[in-house]
Amino acid sequence: MRPEIAVLDIQGQYRVYTEFYRADAAEKTIILVNGSMATTASFAQTVKNLHPQFNVVCYDQPYAGKSKAHNLHEKLLTKEVEGQILLELIDHFAAEHVLSFSWGGAATLVALAQRPRRIEKAVISSFSPEINEHMRDYLERGVDYLGSRDGDRVGNLVNSTIGKHLPSLFKRFNYRHVSNLAEHEYGQMHFHISDLLHSDRQCFLKAAEKIDVPVLFMNGEWDEYTAADGARLFANHVQHATFSTLQATGHFLDMEHKAACRDSQNALLGFLKPEQYASRPRYHYVQDHHALAI
């Protein structure tokens, strides 16, 4: 399964690396939005779960992954800018669905609040508008380590908190990836966390109130950081909201073990393609590349 690869120009300001997994029989296209510091490689399992039922699009933010070499990194990107990039990609690929992971939910909410005409359904996974005590501790330590550009401590922090339920192979990929980021990537992550710590979380709920398409909020039962109970705060703000809590699963959902992978795929297809859900193909669980997000 080889993707079609392109580096797209976004309004003459950013260059974005994209992977398009085309499926001849697919009727719809879904675009996947990474968590912070993650790359297209982080969605290896999610792509397996969605293709060939859908055409699938992955992309790297301008500061990360294979987009990094094509941009100058002269300024930090806000969630509003990331939301605008997502809107441009939705139009370019004519995507009907969007699925975000962790911090990618911030940009996705911003984009959905603009009511893009093509989007029919959205999935927000491992995201909550609430900063509980576990998340606050994680973020405050992260700001400290990122501020000093201490990649070793950042890598260990991720693996001992949001990544603690990952298989050891993923933890090794995580550590190697996080501890060797470029200077501007640590700066971007520091900016994201500082913004999250000091901004009014009501902005997420206000954005949610403008969304007019069905949204599935998907969280892991064992995720103490973006907890399912916190995600349910969206219930009174999104007109067509549904919620799925994956049992015996932490922050990284389909990456943690085979049952979590199966349950994640079932939740996604049951929401996105309910009419064909009963005849869904068997899932495939792979351990590949690294995974990272907040």
Q: pLDDT of the chain along its 294 residues, tens only?
A: 799 999 999 989 999 999 999 999 999 999 999 998 889 999 999 999 999 999 999 999 999 999 999 999 999 999 999 999 999 999 999 999 999 999 999 999 999 999 999 999 999 999 999 999 999 999 999 999 999 999 999 999 999 999 999 999 999 988 999 999 999 999 999 999 998 888 777 889 999 999 999 999 999 999 999 999 999 999 999 999 999 999 999 999 999 999 999 999 999 999 999 887 655 444 443 344 344 444
Token pair 């007109």 in the structure block, residue: 239
Q: Describe the strand order of the beta sheet including 14-21 as a list of residue ranges.
A: 4-10, 14-21, 55-59, 29-33, 97-101, 121-125, 215-220, 241-246
| Cα dist from 12 to 16, 94, 119, whole Å | 11, 20, 24
Give me the pLDDT at residue 288, please.
40
> CB-based contacts of 246: which residues, under 8 Å, 6+ apart?
218, 219, 220, 221, 253, 260, 263, 264, 267
CB 218 within 8 A of CB 124: yes
What does the DSSP 8-state code read for residue 34? -
CA 54, 262, 86: angle at the middle one, nearest 5? 40
| Interatomic CA distance for residues 147 and 139, integer angstroms | 12
Give me the pLDDT at residue 277, please.
64
Torsion of CA 257, 258, 263, 264, to 10 degrees: 60
CB 147 within 8 A of CB 122: no
Angle between helix axes 183-198 and 133-147 (nearest 10 degrees) is 140
CB 294 within 8 A of CB 102: yes
The structure's pTM equals 0.92
Give me the pLDDT at residue 123, please.
98
Level-2 CATH architecture, domain 4-130+201-272 = 3-Layer(aba) Sandwich (3.40)
Give me the pLDDT at residue 198, please.
85
